[in-house]
């Protein structure tokens, strides 16, 4: 019995080599000008024609952010203004995240506005990056914004990021929000709340949610170094 494939149909081994054969044939015949090895001049022309790629723009943003941080207050303000203007029209969520990261270290009103607005970005990746941004910036505003994101966001990943960032703040004002999270029906939320409470309280009661529930119900009975009595009165 012949094992040859039907006329016009390549063998199994032949099919495997088809893409390579086509590529070689095109190169030999000169039917394609594409080459994976481009000269610097070709890259420059393509950049001029098509603009920077997302990765190139992200790298450029990081470099400009570093320069702005080392610059004067006026230079930081100008850079923040440029980012605020560009972010409105930016369609790539990855680039918006990079824009957000670029202004996090800057102490300008526009940088604050960008970090605040990013908390409501339509893409969850940007909202998570905004949570991390506020964990870095800190302050009472950070607690409020992260608490809202935990309570209202439709994406579980964003809510979990908000809880983690509340813990990273180390601010006692976050305890009521974390205490509420202990009652969330989702075990993942409960676990993240426990982790955040460990950081905020400086205690380690293990991962038993019930032990942490007992602790938040009677914080004054603990030997915590800072008083959170007034904070807990707002909770109950």
Q: Which of 143, 79, 144, 141 is nearest to 105 (CA)?
A: 79
Helices (H) and strands (E) in the chain, counts: 13, 0
- For 80, 103, 125, the CA distances from 121, given in Å and listed in that order, are 18, 16, 9
Structure tokens at 189: 């939320």
- What is the pLDDT, as a whole number, of residue 184? 94
Structure tokens at 174: 């976050």
Q: Which CATH class for the 138-236 domain?
A: mainly alpha
Residues 6+ apart with CB under 8 A from 176: 231, 232, 234, 235
2-23 pLDDT tens trace: 454 554 555 454 454 444 443 3
Q: Give domain limits for the chain.
A: 43-118, 138-236
128-168 pLDDT tens trace: 999 999 999 998 899 999 999 999 999 999 999 999 999 99
């Amino acid at each position: 019995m012949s094992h040859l494939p039907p006329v016009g149909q390549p063998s199994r081994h032949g099919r495997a080599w088809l893409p390579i054969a086509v590529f070689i044939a095109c190169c030999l015949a000169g039917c394609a000008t594409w080459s994976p090895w481009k000269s610097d001049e070709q890259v420059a022309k393509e950049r001029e024609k098509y603009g920077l790629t997302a990765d190139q723009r992200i790298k450029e943003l990081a470099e400009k952010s570093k320069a702005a941080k080392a610059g004067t207050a006026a230079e930081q303000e100008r850079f923040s203004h440029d980012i605020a203007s560009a972010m409105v029209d930016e369609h790539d969520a990855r680039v918006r995240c990079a824009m957000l990261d670029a202004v996090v270290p800057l102490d300008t009103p526009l940088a604050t506005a960008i970090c605040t607005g990013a908390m409501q970005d339509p893409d969850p990746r940007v909202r998570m990056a905004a949570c991390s941004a506020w964990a870095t910036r800190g302050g009472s505003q950070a607690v409020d914004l992260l608490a809202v994101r935990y309570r209202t966001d439709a994406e579980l990943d964003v809510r979990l990021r908000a809880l983690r960032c509340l813990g990273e703040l180390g601010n006692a004002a976050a305890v009521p929000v974390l205490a509420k999270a202990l009652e969330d029906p989702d075990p993942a939320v409960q676990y993240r709340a426990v982790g955040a409470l460990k950081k905020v309280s400086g205690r380690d009661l293990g991962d038993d949610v019930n032990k942490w529930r007992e602790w938040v119900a009677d914080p004054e009975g603990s030997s915590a170094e800072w008083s959170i009595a007034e904070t807990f009165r707002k909770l109950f």
